[in-house]
Amino acid sequence: MRRNKYNAKRISGFDSQLEYSVYQWLKLLEDTGQATDIKKQEKVSLTKAQVQCRIDFSYIDTESNEKIYVEAKGVETPRWRLIKKLWKHYGPGDLQVIKGTARKLDFAETIKVDKNI
């Protein structure tokens, strides 16, 4: 099996076991009626310069009816740190960052968009 550039093991069409586990968690939310419209690898443009990033997942939270973005993060790269800063100012909605392992997800943080900027 071919590994990706961060040496993560690909599984079932996902870049890592962590990403696959996050998808399984989202499917559980969908099965229990807490989420709908799960999308994988959604493109998001940040800033007026259209800085592109690809977020692992998005879904609609059925309680708030808001679109939530989810990123499974194993390795924090310099590009990720830039995206994280830009998201606070230009993101289209909240971004949940999940770290940890495939067996134990760690809901590390939620990056909220500052709408006052």
**CB-based contact 59:37 (threshold 8 Å):** yes
Mean of the pLDDT values across residues 81-110? 91
Tokens, residue 95: 């971004």
- The whole domain housing 54 covers 17-111
Asked whether residue 90 carries a pLDDT value surpassing 80, the answer given is: yes
How many domains, the chain?
Answer: 1
In a domain, 90, yes or no: yes
According to the model, what pLDDT value does residue 10 have? 64
In a domain, 5, yes or no: no
In a domain, 116, yes or no: no
What number of residues does the chain have?
A: 117
According to the model, what pLDDT value does residue 50 have? 82
Which residues, 6 or more positions from 46, have their beta carbon under 8 angstroms from its beta carbon?
A: 52, 53, 83, 86, 87, 90, 91
In a domain, 8, yes or no: no
pTM for the model stands at: 0.84
pLDDT, tens digit, for every residue of 5-51? 555 666 667 878 999 999 999 999 999 999 999 999 999 999 878 88
In a domain, 47, yes or no: yes
